[in-house]
Structure 1
Amino acid sequence: MDATAASITLADVGKVYPDGTVAVDDFSLEVRAGELAVLIGASGSGKSTILRMINRLIEPTRGTITIDGRDVLKQDPVQLRRQIGYVIQNVGLFPHQTVRANVGTVARLLGWDRKRINQRADELLDIVGLDPARYGKRYPHELSGGQRQRVGVARALAADPLVLLMDEPFSAVDPIVRARLQEEFLRLQATVRKTIVLVTHDIDEAVRMGDRIAVLAEGGRLLQYATPAELLSRPASAEVRDFIGADRGIRRLAVTPVRDVMSPYTGPADGLPTVDAVATLHDALAVMLTSDATTVLVTEDGHPIGQVTRTAVFDTPVPETRI
């Protein structure tokens, strides 16, 4: 198992409130170590309740939740939360503390010495794209919304938790900043490889961010749990199909690498538009439409390695289901 991440298992978890309201009913899910799992569903589907039951901000009525094989319900909840990173929509930074102090909050609670805390805070500020020399001594009100969100992510990672929980983390910023934060977070995740459970209401964010996506219905019913490509290609029911929308075919292009449909190219490369080998079919189609071309050249390190035709884009095969 990856030493920086831990699996999360929810087995027959339920939450029923005293008035009889069923927020979550017999919910089971496994998140593999180092995986980013997205919970998505309409209002009332219990996605935030499920997230908060993992760190016991809400106590489940029944079922078991384990992290790295350890039952969270048998652990001290305060100690448990100090081992889990938590990022919320409005960040929740302490307004009277500097950025550096905010990032070091959990590390202080764990008894780290000041030098170690400051070193870790500066390291993480640098990782999330905030120069510690410039931003470390500022206060939250002196930052933009996107900058505050980055500080929130840095704070959640400060004590090097195995698990990171994120509740609508990017929804409070405008679409342009949100897309930039998503991209930066994916780069960060490629480096730190934490186990992440992310709640969102945005299917495009779920498809872009998730290794696997759990689609929930009212009462915390799990409708489908699959990779983005599988979800868009094979909705498990009419309810899932309606939720992800009629344009799921277009969304599927955004999660299909050009390498999946690339064919050899032996002709001259002059005049053909290009896409990088890490691009998706959505990128390739966009280049074709912009350039009024029916073929794009796929390049790696500046050298042509294949081609993608417009026909290949529209004839993209449905991916095999992964277990």
Structure 2
Amino acid sequence: MFSRALTILLLSAASIAVSAQLPRGFLRGGDVSEIPEVEATGGHYSYQGKTEDPFRILKKAGWNWVRFRIWNHPKDGFCDKEHTLAAAKRAKAAGLAISLDFHYSDWWADPGKQYAPAAWKELPMDKLTEAVYDYTKDVVDAMNRQGTRPNMVQIGNEITAGMIWPQGKLASNDPAQWKNLAALIDAGIRAVHDADGNRHRILTMIHLDRGGDNKGARWWFDHLKAEGVDFDTIGLSFYPFWHGTLTDLQANVNDLAVRYGKDIYVVETAYPWTIDRARGQGFAMTEKLDPEYPPTPEGQAKFLRKMLEIVQAIPGGRGKGLLYWAPTWISTKTHIPWSNMATFNDQGEALPGVRALGGKKD
């Protein structure tokens, strides 16, 4: 009896130790692009009861990585070059690595919409590739000059249906469409390498929304590989209410790592900490929730620990990081429909998910 109890105790301790430690170099964090807008409308953040700079909060909680999306000329100004540079300085000062997510649009880009920036709409294909190169290099150059060199750059955001429509749109297996898209991606990659003096310190990423769709991901990357595009890493979005089960995700990332010999990052995921409509705040995603992960602060944290476990277990050590999408997008003067998916509550206090993603236990 004593031997059996001791064995259980040792196994439990080993399990806790493994869950509390992340692999060396493993990146964990979130896309915190909303912080400047939240702060401009009166929002603030706190950790363990103390209000302070959100970037420092994230670092204290164990995060080592943040991502910023960048739009060409957004109407409200947020997520443009100027705001991104300012936010990058704050992230760097807090000791966080930085990833840039080029949408190549003036607004949201995702599989359902990849609209060209207004300034690029009438450009022929050759001029459009030049514009992608020039814009990408200009932003990365500016990041480098101010001492905030990005560790990684995404060439497009969830580009399963292509990017910069209509020239870079994918609708079929048409070789001409793939050739156009490959040229646009290649222009962005070349710009990153040139801005980095071809030292390859900045990784380039291709990002799809196919987290649980192995067939779709294979089809896409097989085509891109056939076009000879040379990129560094694969990024995937995985939202359980859109992209399948956690089992689907695990099977997909394990296969892609082996098939393409690329490091894998899940660069977007999210899970609700509440679905209580009585709170009178923004509200999103109540369907297809896993009973094992209830929509509570503790359930959200448990979901994130499982996500980390899946990415860390990718064969060959190819699982390199996890990003949470919009963890800091809390409601202020206007109710934000995503706020029940943030990792901070309505008052801006860090939820257990913040520490879970950082590899720490409450």
Q: Same fold (TM over 0.5)?
A: no
TM range (shorter): 0.3 to 0.5
**TM-score, length of structure 2 as denominator length:** 0.32
Higher strand share: 1
User: Which of the pair has more CA radius of gyration?
Assistant: 1
**TM-score, length of structure 1 as denominator length:** 0.35
